[in-house]
Amino acid sequence: MFLLFFFLIHGYGSVSGFVTDASNGEKLAYANVYLENTEYGGATNEKGYYIIQNIPSGDYRIMYSYIGYSLKTLHIQIQPDQNTTMNIELSPEVIEMEEINVSAERLRFEKEVEVSHVTFTPREIKSVPGLFEKDLIKTLQLMPGIVAMHDLSNKLYVRGGSPDENLVLLDGITVYNPSTHLFGLFSTFDPDAIGDAELYAGGFPAKFGDRLSSVLDVATKEGNSKKLAGNVSIGLVTSKLMFEGPIPKGSFLITGRRTYFDALVWAYAKITSDTISLPYYFYDGMAKINFNPTFNDRFTFAGLGGLDIITFETQTDTASKEKIDLEWGNRGTSLRWRRVFNPRFYGEIIGSWSNFLTHFRYQDYEDPTSNLHFYEEIIDYTMKSDFNYFSSETHTTDFGFDAKHLRIEYNLDVTEQRLVEQREHTNLYTVYLQDKWSVIPHILSLQAGLRVIYSTLGERKSVDPRLGLKYHITPNMAFNCSVGKYSQYLITINSQESYFSIFDFWRIIDTLHATPTSYHVIAGIERWLDDNTRFTVEPYYKHYYNLLLPSDNAMMFSAPSESLKAGEGYSTGIDVFFKKSFKDVFGWVSYSLCFTKRKIGNQYYSPRYDRRHNLNIVLGYTLPASIPVINKSVLNIRWYLATGLPYAEDLARYRYRHFYSRNDYWYTDYEWFVLNGPRDARRLPISHRLDMHLEKDFVLFGLNGSWYIDVINVYDKENILFHTWDYDEDPPEKTEYTLLPIPVPSIGVSFKF
Amino acid sequence: MQYRIIIFFILIFQITFISCGYDEEELYEPQLNVCCFLQGYQRPRCVIVDRSYSMDEPSEGFIPDAQVIMRGKWFVDTFAFSDFDGAYHSTNPFSNIYPESTYSLTVFRQDFDTVFAQTCVPGDFTIRFPQPGDTVTRTDTLVWTKSTGARYYYGYFVDWHQTGYHFWHIPDTTDTLVRMPIPYYLYDLLSGHYTIQIQAADVNYLNYSQFDENTDSLLQAGVEGGIGVFGSFVSHDVPAYFLTE
């Protein structure tokens, strides 16, 4: 009776809104929001949105806090059966950025039911030493469970999965070939434009699908909604420009990047009257426009585009003889409408177009019969919706619908005659539903989801259940568990085991083959030793069915192959991650133990990306003010130690004698044949490497700037990539090849305005 | 707790460093490499005994101290090594090879696995066309009776320089005659007198001659315990005149 009376006289209300950065309008994910001297509180989600429900009506003081930002306290009156909207801007304080991220990760630890998840800030991405250029993918390769094939590799092999099993999203646009620049050495993502990046190394939620291994979700910055700002960077290989600023009821951001080695070589040739030229360059750019017509609506237009171009022409004294043009690149746009329908119901609808094209033309001006023209592209039209319904304090329901039209076209013309003209297309329709249930608040949470996919090609469907659990053993330690099924309707037909691949050739799974699926089982412990120290241990097991595997012949460069072999496989291992941040020092240690096998027929083998052990140490240190010249600069070092990769070794040689049965002199004529071992016969030697990055801020003519020096392979470790045998020698002579035979320095400078 | 984590990572580091440097297990032990072809109605030809070599081993010549024994239905023949040609030769004057008979070969050498090999000589056959002295043109079809057990037929147009123009044919399995149009790849054959030689080969011969080191695995054409070939064939020839149109 007392409770009934209490309810009747009070009534309940709620408060909701967005928390953003007052300096530039960027969202603040996982900021703390709570009512002073009460138990009512919460945190913003990854979009910076929060809602606190079932607050008894009355007057309160609401507090917003985020490490690195000043605390904001406001008076609020909660009315019965009403929601109060409070969109808040927090002002940054002078505190290192990495601490902010640690804090966000800590809040995420308390709020979310997820495993194998890491987030990155631009500062972290830039702090990792890079070869000529900072790169998101290079930073991700330092996370547990992720390995790189070699010193220059820019592909992600996540927990024994190949790169084509990773879903890569940029502002909602699916990026099919994220690491295409400079023959796979640079990724599409410009670190200056990245707002944040999230990686699910496994056990990803029902919101994501269509890939077997992992999800990389990259969001560009929102664009500064307060003032015009920009950044110019000049490096050894590329120069970049970023410009951002406010527009009426919104903001914009635009970036551009181009290599200029070709221009420098051209200028040098002009000056010296030399004939040398560099027939390669790439450029890319991103753009984003935010428009907020009302408090509850936001429209975001995002676009990306880039192209790698090789143009090579041979000339006689008087005229061109032959010409080769090769172009490839990613393009895409998305339009996102985010709406707060009511304080409990929040959602967004995204329409996107993504395209990757490959274009090769060979023209022989003297003999047109040799002309060749190859054109391939993948086109993806997607309409996607994601909704969040905060049904109660203990339940949050996510659901959405996804319609995707995929089209792959490839043509081959020889001597202006069309030899191949192929068109593949399918429509994929997906619905998902996911509920996060706080069974025992702050102690036990469950997340159950279901993703159903229907493909019009072959009229096949997949039902992919997902289940996650988080149990807080103590407030600072939790047990995480996740199981799920994952399906993929696209594959690549080029070998993912090759050391270098400029781009992937995607194909839709045809009706003759079953849909590739994988099952993830992950269980781990996450422990926070203090607010800035995270420690995780995650064993996992992943099993694959219905894989389509290209042959192992392509070791160096991957080439498309239509003769795929059906197979299955598994990967299992344990990932350990320790991340720590002090005032002047931050860093992490990641260790992965992984066993990866694929099976064709009855034969198991280790694919070439099966690294057994992988240890990474990253350390950042702000040098003290007492050091001359480089005082207060940031020194980052990165060191790794890893097992060598498996490879097919020549085991022995023997004489093969040519037999001519019409005479008796057959045995004198022979040649040496080689006995090839299995594709995983041997492993390359252990590899390790130390890289350094030193960056210092300065002010020049009133402009804030910074310069950096990177040194890759500081102590000149020659990590062997492959070797060859010279069979003309007896015994055969072995020659080893490395990618970084010397320490490689690079420098750069950037200005902010 | 932090000390425990530091100790934990030091342990991981040590384990990683130790584990990263694999002790490579020996994946291959060198084997004997034996080559021998038998021809029907002939005495056994020589047996070549060689070996395979690990990648870091310098190669040697022939192996002179192996024990080589050939067995037929009516004979056992211990072969003897000849320094002259580096091959093993028959020592039993009663060793003869007959069609549709099975022969085995055992090669023993210390420090190597013993090689055991077996071949069944294909059955005899008769050339129906051309007959001796016939004229053959590009549009003609060679005809011979099928050889029992033959998996493949090799043939040559041998000119007066003893230059052989090679051709081959896989027989169909339903007819009792093998018919083979003059192959198009003999388009450059000039008019003249030739000896047309046709050989019916067993499966070991076929597997050996078509072996591809890049795609096939171990070369074992009728051989166990080692590598190599123990094949057999039956051969007939006929003189004919080839006329280009």
Residues A594-627 pLDDT 10s:
999 999 988 899 999 999 999 999 998 888 888 8
Q: What is the pLDDT of residues A499-546, one digit of tens each?
A: 887 778 899 998 888 999 999 999 999 998 888 888 999 999 999 999
Query: Which ipTM did the prediction report?
Result: 0.89
pLDDT attached to residue A613: 92
**Residue A16 pLDDT class (50, 70, 90 cuts):** confident
Q: Mind telling me how many Å the CA of B52 is from chain A's nearest CA?
A: 4
Q: Mind telling me how many Å the CA of A541 is from chain B's nearest CA?
A: 20
Low-confidence ranges of chain B (pLDDT < 50): none
pLDDT attached to residue B224: 95
Please tell me the pTM assigned to this model.
0.83
Local structure of A105: helix, strand or coil: helix
CA distances from A558 to A34, A87, A680, B111 (A): 54, 51, 18, 42
- Mutation choice for B interface testing from A618, A640, A662, A726 by most B CBs within 10 A: A662
DSSP state of A267: H
Give the nearest chain B residue to A533 (CA atoms). B2
d(CA A402, CA A345): 19
CATH of the domain at A57: 2.60.40.1120
**Is the CB of A686 less than 8 angstroms away from the CB of B20?**
yes
Name the domain count of chain A: 2
Average pLDDT, chain A: 86
- Which of A274 and A432 is assigned the larger pLDDT? A432
**Is the CB of A612 less than 8 angstroms away from the CB of B19?**
yes
Q: Is residue A713 part of a domain?
A: yes
d(CA A447, CA A433): 10
pLDDT attached to residue B126: 95
Q: What average pLDDT does this structure show over A717-738?
A: 91
Q: Is residue A32 part of a domain?
A: yes
Query: Does A99 have pLDDT greater than 90?
Result: no
Local structure of B63: helix, strand or coil: coil
Domain boundary among A74, A90, A106: A90
Q: Mind telling me how many Å the CA of B113 is from chain A's nearest CA?
A: 16
Write phi, then psi, for A392 (nearest 5 degrees): -155, 180
**Residue A472 pLDDT class (50, 70, 90 cuts):** very high
pLDDT attached to residue A10: 58
pLDDT attached to residue B34: 95
Of A59-63, A364-368, A691-695, the one with minimum mean pLDDT is A364-368
Q: What is the pLDDT of residues A29-67, one digit of tens each?
A: 778 888 888 878 877 887 788 888 888 888 898 888 887
Local structure of A306: helix, strand or coil: strand
Q: Is residue A182 part of a domain?
A: no
**Percent above pLDDT 90 for chain A:** 42
* CA within 13 Å, CB half, B116: 0
Q: Is residue A482 part of a domain?
A: no
**Residue A357 pLDDT class (50, 70, 90 cuts):** very high
**Is the CB of B219 less than 8 angstroms away from the CB of A656?**
yes
Q: What is the pLDDT of residues A646-692, one digit of tens each?
A: 988 888 999 998 877 665 555 568 889 988 888 888 889 999 999 99
**Is the CB of A675 less than 8 angstroms away from the CB of B2?**
no
pLDDT attached to residue B18: 67
Q: Is residue A405 part of a domain?
A: no
Q: Is residue A726 part of a domain?
A: yes
Which residues of chain B have a CB within 8 Å of the CB of A654? 33, 50-53, 219, 227
| Closest CB from A641, A656, A682 relative to B20 | A641
User: B209 touching A, CB under 8 A?
Assistant: yes
The residue with tokens 């972290």 is: A124
pLDDT attached to residue B79: 96
pLDDT attached to residue A436: 92
Domain boundary among A90, A125, A140: A90
Query: Does A7 have pLDDT greater than 70?
Result: no
Local structure of A702: helix, strand or coil: coil
Give the nearest chain B residue to A658 (CA atoms). B209
Provide the chain B residues 94-153 that lie in CB contact (below 8 A) with chain A. none
Q: What is the pLDDT of residues A712-723, one digit of tens each?
A: 999 999 999 999
pLDDT attached to residue A536: 92
How many residues make up chain B in this entry? Answer: 245
Q: Is residue A347 part of a domain?
A: no
| Closest CB from A529, A589, A654 relative to B9 | A589
Which residues of chain B have a CB within 8 Å of the CB of A675? 28, 52, 218
Domain boundary among A66, A90, A114: A90
Q: What is the pLDDT of residues A219-246, one digit of tens each?
A: 888 888 888 999 999 988 888 999 999 9
A450-455: long-range contacts, CB 8 A cutoff, minimum separation 24: A450/A206, A451/A206, A451/A209, A453/A209, A453/A210, A453/A428, A453/A429, A453/A487, A453/A489, A454/A428, A454/A429, A454/A430, A455/A426, A455/A427, A455/A428, A455/A489, A455/A509, A455/A515
- Mutation choice for A interface testing from B3, B24, B33, B53 by most A CBs within 10 A: B53
Q: How many CB atoms are located within 10 Å of the residue A211 CB?
A: 25
Q: Is residue A615 part of a domain?
A: no
Q: What is the pLDDT of residues A104-161, one digit of tens each?
A: 677 778 777 788 888 877 767 777 777 777 788 888 899 999 999 888 888 899 999 9
**The domain containing residue A19 runs over which residues?**
2-90
